[in-house]
Structure 1
Amino acid sequence: MRKLSAIAIATVSLSLTTVSAFADQLADIKQRGALVCGVLGTIEPFSFTNAQTREVQGYDVDFCSAIAKSLGVKLELKLIATAARIPELQQGRVDILAAALGWTPERAEQIGYSDQYFVSLTKVAVKRSEGLKTTADLAGKRVSANKGSTSEMAVKKTVPTATTVTYQDAPAAFLALQQGRVDGLALGEMMLVKLKMQAEATTPIDILEPPVMHEYWGLGMRKGEVGFASHVNGVLQSMEKSGEATRIFDKWLGSGTQYKMRRDFKVEPIKG
């Protein structure tokens, strides 16, 4: 019994030691003099390599930079793969994630999320010649989507009378729209904007409102880091109030860019 108690005590002690290693991340970052931010580096305009300077830049990078600046430390970017985002964070290889990290209940059980700093919209594109004006006009229509995607599920939920027709990838789903085999294409707004520009001369399309799905992106942090999370959210809220968050959006996604998107969200807690 004594031996078992000793083992139990040692186990608890080890657990406490492990937790305490990350218990004051804010102080650790300041002492280190650097904030390590995990980004994907392959998704323009969020984080990508500038062909001229060879530096990684983008929407996500600017938010990481603002947080590093608020702490008075330098920014270190670490390029990570999509599947490695949460493991890299949990294992302490990065301090924070700015990597297209949409909120899901499953992820929220593993890591902490900041307030939303971007909202990704899933919308439906239609051929302009068909005269469809709103998402509600898709009732009884055929809508293409990537097989097994959240876009497919979003159409089924938002327009239950529509028939979803799935394809292996976005180009195949778009081709089906161009050839008239479907009436609409459900996809992320960013991709739809690019397809719209590419097809304007041959198959003009319109992107319907309202969206069929909102995906809320937050900065990822380790659970239990209350001080760090509070600081990050404070910075985000300050950026919203000062207009800096809007300026970053306009810089990378706004009317002066190829995407010509409108900011219909604000920094606020994710309502999961």
Structure 2
Amino acid sequence: MSLDSVFRRTFNRLSIAAALALLPLAVLPSSAHADQLADVKKAGELVVGTEMQFAPFDFLEAGKQKGLNAELFEALGQEMGVKIKFLDLPWPSVLPGLEAKKFDVVAGPIIVTKARKERYHFVSPIAEATVALLAGAKDDSISKPEDIAGKTVGAGKGSAQLEELKAFAATLPQKVTIREYVDNNQAYADLAAKRIVAVANSLPNISFVAAQKSNLYKVVQPPFGKKSYFAYLGRKDADADSLIAALDAALTKMHDDGRLAALQKKWLGAEMDVPKGDFEPTW
């Protein structure tokens, strides 16, 4: 860019700022009156950030999005009268992207924790999320969660499942080596290749993987994590309150008329008893 261009751009910015300063306060836009729901309705589109490597909620099949999220958000969009646009992103960038207002809400879904409730505004839960272990189908050395003592286990980078694994590993008599993966499919591939002995993830996720490839994987019972739930979320600010309230109302309607239960059965294998509305997570 030339020095002349820089000068002109700087001058234009200063001119605009000076002009705005001369306007009556009544005609200046006020962020206090911003309304994210109104913006979404005006655009006719709800932009959703997610990671499409999180089956059975979001995954790609022949290059097309599949899973519970796609069908559930389609129904939510119909209830709200807007189209849904998904953005497929590496998981560590999803929450920062939300905070930077790159999209409207996060599909994920994400485990609801006390710390996250202080930072984000959650919609009602859509599924149970208690953390468990996926191990090799023929690995007789892993028959209960405690058997990972002294071994190497994987989990999603930046995930609540990773934090649960770390907390559980700290209670064991031998050190657990933990590998962090940006992509859950990479963790499952390393498990199949015996580079790790188990992957920590939420029960619906690993149950789906084990059902799809029972020759490679098994679910280790019982789950080791604390009882928890998955939910969608948005930013926790006054602008976003109206959008989250509208999503929650639409989801509650689906909960009451049985559509949520039907999607749980289709994608998670069973109907799940989840709280409606606000609730206090256990951790």
* 2:5 paired residue number: none
Do the aligned residues in 1 keep the contact of 2:134 with 2:206 (CA within 8 Å)? Answer: no
Where do 1:32-71 residues align within 5 Å?
Answer: 32-51=43-62, 54-71=63-80
Do the aligned residues in 1 keep the contact of 2:51 with 2:58 (CA within 8 Å)? Answer: yes
Cα distance in 1 for partners of 2:91, 2:243 equals: 23
- CA deviation after TM superposition for structure 1 residue 69, in Å: 0.8
Residues 236 and 128 of structure 1, relative CA distance in 2, 3 Å threshold: same
Q: With CA pairs under 8 Å and 6+ residues apart, which has the higher RCO, 1 or 2?
A: 2
- CA deviation after TM superposition for structure 1 residue 245, in Å: 0.9
- CA deviation after TM superposition for structure 1 residue 244, in Å: 0.9
One-letter identity of the residue aligned with 1:82 = W
When normalised by structure 2's length, the TM-score is 0.65
- CA deviation after TM superposition for structure 1 residue 129, in Å: 5.8
Cα distance in 2 for partners of 1:232, 1:67 equals: 7
Where do 1:1-272 residues align within 5 Å?
Answer: 17-20=30-33, 23-51=34-62, 54-124=63-133, 138=146, 145-146=153-154, 149-156=162-169, 160=171, 163-168=174-179, 170=187, 175=194, 185=198, 187-188=200-201, 189=203, 190-191=205-206, 194=209, 198=213, 200=215, 207-222=220-235, 223-224=237-238, 225-254=240-269, 262-268=270-276, 269-272=278-281
Q: Percent identity?
A: 18
- CA deviation after TM superposition for structure 1 residue 141, in Å: 6.9
Q: Give ranges in structure 1 of 5+ residues lacking alignment.
A: 1-9, 179-184, 255-261
Cα distance in 1 for partners of 2:228, 2:257 equals: 24
Q: Secondary structure at the match of 1:100?
A: strand
Cα distance in 2 for partners of 1:131, 1:89 equals: 38
One-letter identity of the residue aligned with 2:92 = A
Do the aligned residues in 1 keep the contact of 2:56 with 2:208 (CA within 8 Å)? Answer: no
Aligned length: 236
- CA deviation after TM superposition for structure 1 residue 194, in Å: 3.3
Do the aligned residues in 1 keep the contact of 2:76 with 2:247 (CA within 8 Å)? Answer: yes
Cα distance in 1 for partners of 2:112, 2:273 equals: 15
Q: Give ranges in structure 2 of 5+ residues lacking alignment.
A: 1-20, 181-186
Write the deviation string for residues 134-157 of structure 1: whole angstroms up to 9, x where unpaired: 76xx59976753389324334257
When normalised by structure 1's length, the TM-score is 0.67
- CA deviation after TM superposition for structure 1 residue 93, in Å: 2.8
Q: Secondary structure at the match of 1:155?
A: helix
Residues 199 and 143 of structure 1, relative CA distance in 2, 3 Å threshold: farther
Do the aligned residues in 2 keep the contact of 1:192 with 1:207 (CA within 8 Å)? Answer: no
